[in-house]
Structure 1
Amino acid sequence: MAEQHIIDAIANGQKSADAVLARRKIARANRAAAIAKHTSPIRFNVQMSGFAQPAVGFVDTAHQTTGFLIAAGDSWFDYFDRDILEQLKEHYGYTVRSAAHAGDRIEAMVEHDSQLYKLQECLEEVLDQGAVPQAVLISGGGNDIAGKEFGMLLNSKDSVIAGWNDEMIDGLINQRLKAAYTAMLSGVNQLCKSSSLGKVLPVLIHGYDYPVPDGRGVLGLWPLPGPWLQPGFNEKRFGDLQQNTDAMHDLIDRFNAMLQTLPQLADFANVRHVDLRNTLSTKLADDAYQQVWGNELHPNENGFPLIADKFATALSNL
């Protein structure tokens, strides 16, 4: 039986989804009234390739796609013009409707309804075109771990218990983030089941790749975000980049281990974990890792395509 805080998180996710649906019911009624007043509303459908049995009534139009995706998440889905979703659109032919917003925490995505509400809008947009999303993509957790409080996860190098504070990490990953992800997944499934689909969609989640905490932020320019990791290591007197990179390897493994438990829950048999680890280099010699990493947290124009390919493979295997 699931732990009580997981049961509570599932209920909270469903409650958030119900609140979103109530708000969207009003919004859709207002929109329908506005369209009814219009003298010549536009009606259209889309042609989709790559589906063995397209929806009845589809007509050929200029718009073609290999499939629809809807997404919520952080900067791995919302990073200039090079993120994972942009790669899936440009190089794999998907049409993506996204609620993702750089800097958002997974906790905030569901607690404040912001992304959950926008995700419902995305779902409605696809369904209103007579199509069915192939999957829901979710990216989150990085902003909950990295940032100003990152140093709190570390015991000082000078301490007899130097290194990761296991109790802090367990509380963050296996309690807070697990509960947040559980609520988010529960909310997403509730939205899908309450739609005209009447069923859940495949949901893909991921746990990032191993970063190098080298002190680089976005474009290396203030006031853009970053660095997120090196300041915490410096605060606790850890100055060796290789050792710090190895430490991040361990932390990312712990995060992925938690995510891999979610599809095992009865409520989330539709969830798939996309393992992105070891996709990007962390080789420090000659700064080789900088060929694929733009900064401490984000791949660059060479790295994002490699990450997106993992998602494309996962989508093709659904």
Structure 2
Amino acid sequence: MAKKQNFSKAIVVGKALAAAALKRRAEAIEKRQRVLANAKLKIDPTAKRVLAKAPVTHASMGVLIAEGDSWFDYPFHDVLSDLEDSYGFDVESAAHRGDTIEDMAYSDGQLDAFSRRVEKVLRTGVEPRAILLSGGGNDVAGDEFAILLNHAASGIAGLNESILTGVIDQRVREAYATILAAITLICKSYLGHPVPVVIHGYDYPVPDGRGFWGGGLFPGPWLEPGFRRKGYAEMSKRKQICVELIDRFDTMLAGLAGRPPFGHVKFLDLRNTLSTGATYKTWWANELHPTTKGFDAVTKKFVSMI
């Protein structure tokens, strides 16, 4: 009963946050319209000739709007860049590496940025084909990770069930319900109907201590320090725990998709897309992020669902 009540509260919070964002955006839109109405636009004749010769194409597989973390905002190559370059989609993104799902759900600025992307797409005269939402990895990895583990030398070694429940099945789940309710209301306010939403889990990582560009001054590692702190030296045991963690996270997400009021939300299962065997470094650039080859494999699954 408590879980159902919390879920309902998350929906209410999401709708309230969306309503506040829509009110701010309405004021911003009115201001923009006044500026455009009063503007006297002058175009240099030379520029007109250049523009007339420039090739223009509107060919596209559709417009996608994205909100998320580093899987959507990674240097040089990520899911979104691959969707544009390899599959012909146009992507409007409010994603930012390092963001938690709580950042996305409860920050006014995040919802404003998302709404602005929707407005930008609608001004072109088309509707978004889908909304892509990525998040949750930063809520359980990094500085937060060690607290999920009982010490390896204890009689209760492995993931701490009560803390895992609190983080994934309560905190992250409620944040997801909140942001899904918010972006659903925003899209319905602009379009009169919801837009299909794709949420995704992650693949099974290899906690080998590699951070972004080797770590050091750069972000990461995100998993190995927690394992080392709690006495887990064997890679096989570390990998087993990561499998349990990802399975738990994915089960939670899959339980949100397709159920009222989220019938328009689809869950994309990315497990076993990237190898964790002997050649895993060709698939994983570090503990949490795929290589270019890995992102290509992940993006292919996004395309199949879209």
TM-score by length of 1: 0.90
> Aligned equivalents of 1:144 and 1:306: distance in 2?
24
Q: Identity rate of aligned residues, in percent?
A: 46
Is the 8 Å Cα contact of residues 106 and 181 (structure 1) preserved in structure 2?
yes
What is aligned with 2:239? 245
RMSD: 1.5
What is aligned with 1:26? 27
Q: Deviations over 1:116-163 (max 9, x none)?
A: 211111111111110000000000000000011210100001111111
Is the 8 Å Cα contact of residues 100 and 136 (structure 2) preserved in structure 1?
yes
> Aligned equivalents of 1:294 and 1:278: distance in 2?
16
Q: Which amino acid aligns with 2:289?
A: H
Are residues 1:305 and 2:296 paired? Answer: yes
Structure with greater helix percent = 2
Alignment of 1:72-111 (within 5 A): 72-111=67-106
Alignment of 1:179-190 (within 5 A): 179-190=174-185
> Aligned equivalents of 1:282 and 1:229: distance in 2?
15
What is aligned with 2:223? 229
Is the 8 Å Cα contact of residues 215 and 231 (structure 1) preserved in structure 2?
yes
What is aligned with 1:69? 64
Is the 8 Å Cα contact of residues 258 and 264 (structure 2) preserved in structure 1?
no
> Aligned equivalents of 2:216 and 2:18: distance in 1?
38
> Aligned equivalents of 1:249 and 1:21: distance in 2?
40
Are residues 1:281 and 2:275 paired? Answer: yes
Is the 8 Å Cα contact of residues 66 and 93 (structure 2) preserved in structure 1?
yes
Q: Which amino acid aligns with 2:224?
A: Q
> Aligned equivalents of 1:239 and 1:277: distance in 2?
24
Which moves more between the two structures, 23-32 or 60-69? 60-69
Are residues 1:295 and 2:296 paired? Answer: no
Is the 8 Å Cα contact of residues 137 and 204 (structure 1) preserved in structure 2?
yes
- Structure 1: tracts of 5 or more residues without a match: 43-59
What is aligned with 1:52? none
Is the 8 Å Cα contact of residues 258 and 266 (structure 2) preserved in structure 1?
no
Are residues 1:207 and 2:201 paired? Answer: yes
Count of equivalent residues: 294
SS at match of 2:76: coil
Is the 8 Å Cα contact of residues 35 and 41 (structure 1) preserved in structure 2?
no
- Structure 2: tracts of 5 or more residues without a match: 44-54
> Aligned equivalents of 2:259 and 2:111: distance in 1?
21
Q: Which amino acid aligns with 2:176?
A: Y
Are residues 1:135 and 2:130 paired? Answer: yes
SS at match of 1:3: helix
TM-score by length of 2: 0.93
SS at match of 2:143: coil
Q: Deviations over 1:151-199 (max 9, x none)?
A: 010000111111110110011111111100000100010001111x100
